[in-house]
Structure 1
Amino acid sequence: MEITAAEALVRCLEEEKVEVIFGYPGGFMIPVYDALYHARIKHVLVRHEQGAVHAADGYARATGKVGVCMSTSGPGATNLVTGIANAYMDSVPLVIFTGQVPTSQVGTDAFQEVDITGITIPITKHNYLVKNAQDLPRIIKNAFHIATTGRPGPVLIDLPMDVAQTRINFEYPRQVNLKGYKPTYRGHPLKIAEAAQLIKQSRRPVIYAGGGIISSGAHEELLKLAETISAPVTNTLMGLSSFPGDHPLFLGMLGLHGTRYANIAVTECDLLIALGARFDIRAASKFDAFAPHAAVIHVDIDPAEIGKNVRVDVPIVGDVKLVLQELLPLLEKTDRSEWLVRIQELKEQYPLRYQRENGLKPQLVIETLYRYTRGEAVIVTDVGQHQMWVAQYYRFKRPRSLVSSGGLGTMGFGLPAAVGAQLGVPDQQVILITGDGSFQMTIQELATLKEQELPVKIFMLNNFRLGMVRQIQHYYCEGRYMAVDFKFHPEFITLAKAYGIKGYTVQTEEEVQEIVPQVLSEPGPVLVNCLVSPGENVLPMVPTGRRIDETFEC
């Protein structure tokens, strides 16, 4: 039986067990939307295409499944670009469909034509312009395979309207055969044995765990490794939630706004075990002075990341979960009490702290949220000071409980990502922690939140300014604050009510202690506008170009 390529697209998504699609229709995507009319897939209508890709991203991070989104051609497609780059930087598996002008018009500067495959080459793992309708099922099968294997990432499929309308004999491929694409999953046994030997010889090891632990589902192996070799664990921002935040071996996040004790421990260690991390500049700061006394073991599925920024003594290319499963039997329970005593001394000497006077402190809001959720909520953040305070003061207990933009640092990510996360994990408490700057970038997705009746709780840390930019100007521009103060804000609670969402404003510690348990128990979405101290800085902070153990303190 013949069906249109648009109908085949929907059948393919059903074969891939796609549950939800985030999208915004337009003229050149009408055939696909018509095919979706009878589909067994939920479609979520966002209010801006950027919201669609961020929602798919949040869904993927919270569930571990592929996020799917779609838009029309031209401006619809280009509105996806920031979100695609965001997913690419953080290795999030997405499949993105864009409409395109008919093939006869491609290259003619037709109405709403844009070369979206050309635009997204640097920010997708792979992309396709479909020219032959019969190829579409194979392309979709390949796209899901590429997005989820090796180092995950976004794949884009651009579908011209005439191709979508062409009738084909539908058959969904059962296998993928991609010549030249063969990710390495098993680490080299000799390198694993070499790593085991280095671990046995070390006296002061530190485990440096990144987002690869979460992508590969290696959190149990990470915990077992840390407890077996008595090694403290520090996380990158993307690695947070891969190791229990209340575990005595946990050092918190390292780097630019990491804990002082994590940064000193990495500086003093004699062995750094890097697992699924890429030595980003915000974690390592000054590459040639990072872990200066340590031998380095680096495990990553992407060979391009190994040795890219930091010298590596034992490189292991492979899936971190499988590598750890091979490594753990080679190790023995080790007592490193002297090193752990030093770690405890550092924690006691350099705890995270802040001054409680001069207004409502944002750190206190996050500590209160942690106290009432005990680390069991899914925390979604935007980007800015609030993101760093979450990383510092919220102790995550289980993987995939932090949804945040890391590599690209995308303001406006939070609200649509929270929509996607809540749809992906409907039985879990999802909390969005945002800033007044980030929140206004995608504020229209409050309509999506309400339309879907999602019980996301939003805590906006409102300081009437672009806090992180102001902080940078404070330290590096001698306090010359330029274009960071909001002279006008909308009445956020009135605005929330206009969307049918309940809202509260708090500005004292007592009000926060009262409102948090109340809001968490209420049904439906709620916005809490927290009027926080406007001059608060995120500390500790590593000055630009300095070692990570050289920090500004509170």
Structure 2
Amino acid sequence: MSQTLYVYQSLARATREHGVQTMFGLMGDANLFMVDSFVRDCGGRFVPAAHEGSSVLMALAFAHVSGRVGVATVTHGPALTNCMTALTEAARAHIPLVILAGDTPVDNPRHLQSIDQRELAKATGAGFEQLRSPATVGKDVARAFYRAQVERRPVVLNMPVEFMLQDVAHDMQVLDVFTAPGGVAQGDILDNAIGMIAAARQPLILAGAGAVGAREQLIKLADRLEAPLATTLKAKGLFTGHPYNIDIFGTLSTPAAYDLIARADCIICFGTALHDFTTDRGKLMKDKRIIQIDVEPEAIGGGLHPDAALVADAGLTAETILYWLDEAEVPASGFTRELDIATLTTHPAAAPKSGDGFINFVHALERLETALPQDRVLVTDGGRFMTEVWCRISAPDPTSFVSTVNFGAIGLGLQEAVGAGLAAPDRPVVLFTGDGGFMMGGINEFNTAVRLGLDLIVIVANDSAYGAEHIQFIDRKMDPGLTEFNWPSFAGIAKSLGGDGVEVHSEAELETALAALKTRKGPFLIELRLDPNDVPRMRI
């Protein structure tokens, strides 16, 4: 039975009816009443960010870790333009989000904050839905949630401010969506793919983010073939615990694993678009058969042309291949029998060259790997330091790993750590970030983490420089002075914002910081003071 409400109340209720309990955002005159109603009338939780783009990033990580649609809200004009990098990150991460964005009055085209919000959203790769009228609130909200799920990207629902105080008859409108398409591979291409796999003597299985739900099926296929398992960065942790897991495939592989991949004669790729970093710009895929399986047609053929391409579900396809291998009594390859997995998964460390007052980054990472909570959710920012973090710091599974590098940006990590912490409130969140990234996007939201009382551990790698640029000047024997910064004490900032922090200049101080972790009572920051001339080079 319909009930007469204001439009802002109907919007809040429609959002809550889609199972949304947590909304991230920053209030303005086009969304403040809707937010208030979501909290007071619908019993929802509103998480106020310090910056509009942060709210989208928090919703992104919340969705990734929880498996639910993330929701954020901002007002119009500059509030939405502040979200452009975050929306692009979410679109390229293929994360379902709904952004409830206010808009300026339709009858005032000269409004100071007016902008074409449809074109802005489209430029980021996000979808766009217009709230058409007060009478269509339920349908328009339902359409936005539907599209976010089936298109696996953020959808901006545009809400004109003049609608908010109009009356509307609220009707519940929820579209039930089955979001796990299950295409089954069949036909001549499947036959050709199975023939290539059967003929392989050194096959390898590679899984990306699109195969995260197919872990058990891929392991069964790998065991049947006696093939090693590897993942892309975004699927990090998928095969944790398997005896023939060689970890990340590509430029982030260990030298021994890289050589092993180069020896393989057939790579069976599930749920990965095979971008340049995974394939080392195609070098790792030369002179071998490539079979690519992905439910998304646009993922196939973008990076390279496979020998067989199947637009199909990863798990079902693995089961189908396994079935026909058994039917044909194809023998196992024996490839894994010759492997020394310890060698394949050990990253070498160069001799430290740090000057006085600095700690060696690789040594610190190796110590942190064992000392940090093992049930962690791992979040990483972008930047020069992260490649070593990805190689040396483990995550329990892909859902517990949030990498903020889908757009190559820095300064997104702290915001996503907040969203991850709210999605997994009973687990500690560990964020690795650089000094430039923390200055760019971390300081303002560290206080948000304090206000929320999150169990957040922030590791700031501080070389007092923009390191990727610094090393380029050094390589060319040029003065790197323009890349160097006299930052404030990040540990001191953490304390001033209500958390705790420790500066680390030596191995002894690192041990002191790790001991202090055990009695932490809220967000805790460890600032690693690094020599800018003794930081490992990026591997991508």
**When the two structures are superposed, what TM-score results if normalisation uses the length of structure 2?**
0.91
Please, which of 75, 88, 91 is the counterpart of residue 91 of structure 2?
Answer: 88
Q: Residues 134 and 198 from structure 1, CA distance in 2 versus in 1: closer, same or farther, beyond 3 angstroms?
A: farther
Please, which of 102, 123, 144 is the counterpart of residue 99 of structure 1?
Answer: 102
Please, which of 238, 251, 272 is the counterpart of residue 256 of structure 1?
Answer: 251
1: CA distance between counterparts of 2:288 and 2:342?
Answer: 20
Question: What one-letter code is carried by the residue in structure 1 that aligns with 2:6?
Answer: T
SS of equivalent to 1:77: helix
Q: Partner residue of 2:425?
A: 426
Please, which of 37, 40, 44 is the counterpart of residue 41 of structure 1?
Answer: 44
1:144 aligns with 2:145: yes
Question: What one-letter code is carried by the residue in structure 2 that aligns with 1:231?
Answer: A
1: CA distance between counterparts of 2:402 and 2:62?
Answer: 9
Q: Alignment RMSD, CA only?
A: 2.6
Gaps of 5+ in 1: 543-554
Please, which of 300, 324, 331 is the counterpart of residue 330 of structure 1?
Answer: 324
SS of equivalent to 1:95: strand
| Contact in 2 for aligned 1:184/1:317 (Cα 8 Å) | no
1:213 aligns with 2:211: yes
Q: Residues 27 and 374 from structure 1, CA distance in 2 versus in 1: closer, same or farther, beyond 3 angstroms?
A: closer
1:228 aligns with 2:224: yes
2: CA distance between counterparts of 1:331 and 1:424?
Answer: 41
Shift of 1:22: 0.8
Shift of 1:156: 1.0
Shift of 1:506: 1.2
Q: Partner residue of 2:153?
A: 153
Gaps of 5+ in 2: none
Select between 350-359 and 134-143 the one with higher mean Cα deviation. 350-359
Shift of 1:314: 1.7
| Contact in 1 for aligned 2:264/2:288 (Cα 8 Å) | yes
Cα offsets for 1:158-188 (capped at 9, x unmatched):
11012233322222234369xxx99953133
Cα offsets for 1:93-125 (capped at 9, x unmatched):
2111111012222xx231211212211214334
Q: Partner residue of 2:20?
A: 18
Q: Partner residue of 2:4?
A: 2
| Contact in 2 for aligned 1:20/1:68 (Cα 8 Å) | yes
Please, which of 232, 237, 241 is the counterpart of residue 233 of structure 2?
Answer: 237
Q: Partner residue of 1:312?
A: 306
2: CA distance between counterparts of 1:387 and 1:466?
Answer: 13
Cα offsets for 1:293-341 (capped at 9, x unmatched):
2111111122012112211122111332343344443345964434552
| Contact in 2 for aligned 1:435/1:461 (Cα 8 Å) | yes
Superposed, which structure 2 residues align to 1:346-361 within 5 Å? 347=344, 351-358=347-354, 359-361=358-360
Q: Partner residue of 1:546?
A: none
SS of equivalent to 2:262: helix
2: CA distance between counterparts of 1:483 and 1:69?
Answer: 37
SS of equivalent to 1:440: helix
1: CA distance between counterparts of 2:281 and 2:271?
Answer: 20
2: CA distance between counterparts of 1:164 and 1:324?
Answer: 50
2: CA distance between counterparts of 1:16 and 1:401?
Answer: 24
> Percent identical across equivalent pairs?
24
Q: Partner residue of 1:381?
A: 380
Shift of 1:517: 4.6
2: CA distance between counterparts of 1:339 and 1:247?
Answer: 12
Q: Residues 9 and 220 from structure 1, CA distance in 2 versus in 1: closer, same or farther, beyond 3 angstroms?
A: farther
Question: What one-letter code is carried by the residue in structure 1 that aligns with 2:360?
Answer: K
Superposed, which structure 2 residues align to 1:434-453 within 5 Å? 434-442=433-441, 443-453=443-453
Cα offsets for 1:408-452 (capped at 9, x unmatched):
022111111111100000011211111111011121111211111
2: CA distance between counterparts of 1:536 and 1:258?
Answer: 21
Q: Residues 375 and 233 from structure 1, CA distance in 2 versus in 1: closer, same or farther, beyond 3 angstroms?
A: farther
| Contact in 1 for aligned 2:387/2:539 (Cα 8 Å) | no
1:273 aligns with 2:251: no
Question: What one-letter code is carried by the residue in structure 2 that aligns with 1:522?
Answer: R
Q: Partner residue of 2:463?
A: 463
| Contact in 2 for aligned 1:124/1:155 (Cα 8 Å) | no
1: CA distance between counterparts of 2:81 and 2:449?
Answer: 23
2: CA distance between counterparts of 1:457 and 1:374?
Answer: 10
1: CA distance between counterparts of 2:103 and 2:271?
Answer: 37
2: CA distance between counterparts of 1:225 and 1:171?
Answer: 48
SS of equivalent to 1:189: coil
| Contact in 1 for aligned 2:250/2:284 (Cα 8 Å) | no
1: CA distance between counterparts of 2:396 and 2:331?
Answer: 25
| Contact in 2 for aligned 1:259/1:540 (Cα 8 Å) | no
Question: What one-letter code is carried by the residue in structure 2 that aligns with 1:139?
Answer: D
SS of equivalent to 1:251: strand
Q: Partner residue of 1:52?
A: 55
Shift of 1:370: 1.8
1: CA distance between counterparts of 2:397 and 2:64?
Answer: 13
SS of equivalent to 2:129: strand
1: CA distance between counterparts of 2:64 and 2:237?
Answer: 12
Cα offsets for 1:188-213 (capped at 9, x unmatched):
32344543333222111122221212
Shift of 1:392: 0.7
Q: Residues 119 and 343 from structure 1, CA distance in 2 versus in 1: closer, same or farther, beyond 3 angstroms?
A: farther
Question: What one-letter code is carried by the residue in structure 1 that aligns with 2:338?
Answer: V
Select between 380-389 and 361-370 the one with higher mean Cα deviation. 361-370
Q: Partner residue of 2:502?
A: 504
| Contact in 2 for aligned 1:257/1:540 (Cα 8 Å) | no
| Contact in 2 for aligned 1:422/1:430 (Cα 8 Å) | yes
Select between 82-91 and 372-381 the one with higher mean Cα deviation. 372-381
| Contact in 1 for aligned 2:246/2:341 (Cα 8 Å) | no
Shift of 1:493: 2.2
| Contact in 2 for aligned 1:258/1:541 (Cα 8 Å) | no
Q: Residues 174 and 434 from structure 1, CA distance in 2 versus in 1: closer, same or farther, beyond 3 angstroms?
A: closer
1: CA distance between counterparts of 2:323 and 2:33?
Answer: 55
Please, which of 297, 300, 304 is the counterpart of residue 303 of structure 1?
Answer: 297
Q: Partner residue of 1:551?
A: none
2: CA distance between counterparts of 1:98 and 1:118?
Answer: 14
SS of equivalent to 1:434: strand
Q: Partner residue of 1:547?
A: none
Cα offsets for 1:114-165 (capped at 9, x unmatched):
2122112143342112222222322222222222235x21111111012233
Q: Residues 235 and 110 from structure 1, CA distance in 2 versus in 1: closer, same or farther, beyond 3 angstroms?
A: same
Q: Partner residue of 1:28?
A: 30
Question: What one-letter code is carried by the residue in structure 2 that aligns with 1:140?
Answer: V
Q: Partner residue of 2:110?
A: 109
Query: How many residues are paired up?
Result: 529
1: CA distance between counterparts of 2:472 and 2:239?
Answer: 30
Structure with the bigger RCO (C-alpha within 8 Å, sep 6+) is 1
